[in-house]
Every structure is written in C-alpha cells, then in structure tokens.
Amino acid sequence: MLSVADIQDILEKNYQHATSEFKRLFHGRGGLYEGYKHLTVDHINPEILNIALYFQEKNEDELLAMLSHFATTQGYATLIVQRRYQKGTPSEVLFGEIPEDLYILENGMKLKLNLLSNQNTYYFPDMKNGRTFVREMAKEKHVLNLFSYTCAFSVAAKFGGASSVVNIDMSKGALKIGMANHSLNKLEPKGVSFLPYNILKSFSNIKRKGPYDLIIIDPPSFQRGSFEATKDYEKIIKKLPQIASQNCILLACLNSPDLESFFLIEMIEKWAPSFVYEKRLENLPEFASENEEKSLKNLVFKRVLD
C-alpha cells in the first residue's frame, strides 16, 4: 500500500510536466495505486489545485496536510477538496478563492468549470483525446453531437473548421453552458444549434437536419429515466444509416466499467453494418487503468458503402 509520502513523490513527478492547461496529477480511480483508489488530484491551472475524495480515507487529515503543503510549495493560490462520499458531495476551499468565471484550457480551447457543483464540473478531462480527434476530423463537416452536455465536442469541432454543428441534450441548463463555452472562445454562432431534445424520442427532428458527416455519441452509462446503455444504445445505432452521409465518421463513446469494447463493435456490426470499425482512441497516460476495458472507450467507425 502506498504511503502519503509515496503520493507526494508521484505528485511532484507529474507536476514537472504541468502547464497553464488542465492536468491530472494523481488518478487513483484507475486502480493502479493500492489503498488510494478513491483519490484524484487535478492541476486546474497554475493557481488552483483540486482534490476529490470518493470515500473517506482513514488517514484523511494526514493526506490533506500533505496536499496542502504540496500546493503551497508549488505556488498554488487555491486548494479545494470535494468529499464525494458525503451527501451532496460538498466542496470546501481549504485556502484561497475560486474565480467567479473559472474555465480550463485544453489545446487552446477555453471550457467553463464549476468546482463548487454537487457533482458535475461541466468538464470531463479524460475525454481530451476524443475532442482532439473530433477537432482533427471536423473540417468542413456537418457534425451531430448527441448527448452534448456542455458542448465541449462542439467547441472542438468549430476549432477544427466544422461547417455546422447540431448539439442535442435533454438538459437546457447544460446547453446554456454550451452556448457560454462557444461565446467564451469567440466562435461564430452561425451554423451551431443547441437543441433540448430527448434523443430517443426526437429522431424525426434529428433526421431533418441531416445527413451528418461526423457523428458523436457520448451518452451517460446510466441516467435514470433518460438513458441506459445496455438497452438504449442499440436504439440509436439502428437509426444511424438514416442520418449519416455516405462517408460519415462515427465516434461512439462508452464509459461503463461493466461494458467492454465488443459491446459496441458487435452492436454496430449487427444494426449498422455499413459502419466499419477502425480503431479505439488511446486514453491519456494520466488516466491509466489496471484494466483498460473498464476505462473510457472511444471507438472510431467509418461508413463504407458498396
């Protein structure tokens, strides 16, 4: 089992590569650090360090004392801890303050961040390589962003030169943040839609705005009353041939530890066979897992018509 001193050594090593952009310094949730599976430490920027505790650690006081010392030594002005094991997952500012309009940097993009939210911060850092892929593929494409949340994929697509993007999410609040993300990056609003649809019940509206050259499906693994991957992903896959352009690229995402890559690959082979599996995007090294099939899966398919 790691000691608190071991964790400090890991933080100091990873901090050497920190820049003005977001970086995870300690990823216990990958299962690689015995005894600290429930700890993450994030370099938000050179001013802010953020800690998340998913279960109460026996040596929490010692751990937080070390992290406070580390933060002070490295020149962070603000240290935050979020105790996700407590009801409401409260955040506590141990020292410093959080800017009112906080955002992170990712490959030059600005994305809003809420470190005092009860759970979701508006930003999923492990999806960085997925956004990079979209940015590389998006030039002059008509993009469909399903389960868009705060529309980070849309920002990436516009940075990559997408001609248009259709963002769809049930949450009007998330889409409002998505609009703010586009405004924050001074992106031209023309050609970008933010539609508060229930995806499983609004196919005719989605189809009307197609066909799409690049489709992103990034659903929650399970969201009560909204989406359950094991039974609902199939419903979307079946519709793909009706909304995709002839050479459409598909990025299908899955972040369930209980479902492996073949779950999606086999489903697409069965229900959308014109989409051919090309590759799985690598995950960021700082999000390494003891079992990669339990971690984030970003699968790329390309439509090939005879």
Ranges of each domain in the chain: 4-99, 125-303
Taking every pair of Cα atoms in the chain, the longest distance, rounded to a whole number of angstroms, is 63
In this structure, whether the domain defined by 125-303 belongs to CATH 3.40.50.150 is answered with yes
Phi, psi for 54 (deg, rounded to 5): -90, -20
Alpha-carbon distance of 253 to 96, in angstroms, equals 37
Q: What is the pLDDT of residue 12?
A: 97
Residue 90 or residue 140, greater confidence: 140
Percent of the chain at pLDDT exceeding 90: 82
- At residue 182, does pLDDT exceed 90? yes
- At residue 74, does pLDDT exceed 90? yes
Percent of the chain at pLDDT exceeding 70: 97
Mean pLDDT rounded to a whole number for the chain: 94
- At residue 223, does pLDDT exceed 70? no
Strand order in the sheet with 192-195: 192-195, 164-168, 142-146, 212-217, 244-254, 297-303, 275-280
Instruction: Give the gyration radius of the chain's Cα atoms.
Output: 20
| Structure confidence by residue, pLDDT tens digits, 1-34 | 889 999 999 999 999 999 999 999 999 999 899 8
| Structure confidence by residue, pLDDT tens digits, 82-126 | 988 778 777 899 999 999 899 999 999 999 999 987 667 899 999
Region of 61 (left: φ > 0; alpha: ψ -120 to 50; beta: rest) is: alpha
Q: What is the pLDDT of residue 35?
A: 86
Domain boundaries 4-99, CATH class: alpha beta
Confidence category of residue 305, pLDDT binned at 50, 70, 90: confident
Q: What is the pLDDT of residue 119?
A: 67
